[in-house]
Every structure is written in structure tokens, then in C-alpha cells.
Amino acid sequence: MSQHDPHQAADALDAAPFDAGDVELIKRRCLHQGFFRLEELHLRHRLFEGGWSAPVVREVHRRHDAVGVLLYDVERDAVALVEQFRAGALDDPASPWKLEIVAGLVERGECRADVARREAEEEAGCPVGELIELHTYYPSPGACDERVTLFCGLIDSQGLGGIHGLDEEHEDIRVQVMPFARAWELMLAGRLDNAMCLIAFHWLAAERASLRARR
């Protein structure tokens, strides 16, 4: 019986076994084109045990990549969050108004860090000092091609608050500044219930002491 080598298994995971060349795109059809695009894909792909899958149909929501920025005041150990109506949460049992970190879409050719700084100004009226890149991830790769890049932006939260957003984008955004401990309580209570918030706050919980030690 062969011995299982965990190091060998870990090395095998460093690179994916297949790439885009292992997918045959048979047909692509646009189902809807609005602010976002919905496509129907007919394809087949290689299988782990060899050979090819039968043709399958998948619907993919195509949208811009996005950035999220957790605004953190090291001196005051406080965060600035934004609160706004979200159409995707219309049927939420509590409320379709959501507390979130600053976020925005990345247009083709734009630098993600520049978008992060711009969105912080537009949504929260907040200039960002140091910008720390956290993670890039797919929120829902089974159905959407969007990739999100998260940042932590170090700020001075004094005087932040009020209503912000762009009139031409029909934004009505309220800025909420609170101690980190209060925001963490809200997260544990389910009030911060989106992936950007959850990932960014768990990062900050792990790195907060080292950020504050740099003062």
C-alpha cells in the first residue's frame, strides 16, 4: 500500500490541474444586456479522471470587477462604514438597507488602488492615507465572472459623517463612524452580512494590534 505524503498533496494544490485551454466553448449567447450582461454558455471541459464532460449549459452573470475598502482610523480604533439601500436585498427579512464597507466598480484599464481612493471620497467624503491590499477573490464563480479586490484604507475619521454619493448614480449613502468593538458586535449579530465586510473585518481583527503598534 502506498504511503500518503501530505507535502506532495500540498504541492499538487499550488497550481490548478487545468486551465482555460481545457474548456471547449461550443456556443455563447447573450440573454440580456443592461448595466450588466447575462450570457448562456454551451461548453464541455476535461474531467479529473480523464476524458471530457458531456456538453453542459451554464448561465453567467458578466459584470465589472470591483473593489472594497475598509476605512480604519488607527488612532481612534474606529471604522467608517456606509449605509444604503440595496435592491438585491429587497426581500431581506430585516431590511434592504445595508451597512457595508466602501465599494465600487472598476472600469477597463483603471488601477484598483485609484478606484479605492476615489470611491472613499465619493461615498464617504474620506481621503485615504496608506492603502493596504488584502485579497482578490471571486464572490460567486459558479455564476458570475466578477473579481473583488479588498483594501484597508488608513484614515482620520474626525469629522466624518453625513450623507454622500453621486446624484447622477442616484446614491443616498449615510456614513457611520463607530469603534471597532461596536462594529465587531454588529458583525457577530449578523448586521454586517455581506462578503466584503466579513472578509475585511476578520483581516482587521487579526492585524489590528500590529497596525496600532505602528503609531
Catalytic positions, written as ranges: 169
* Dist CA 108 CA 126 (whole Å): 24
C-alpha dihedral, 159 to 163 to 165 to 169, nearest 10°: 180
Q: If 0-12 CB within 10 Å is exposed, 13-18 middle and 19+ buried, where does residue 61 land? A: middle
- Phi, psi angles (nearest 5°) of residue 144: -145, 140
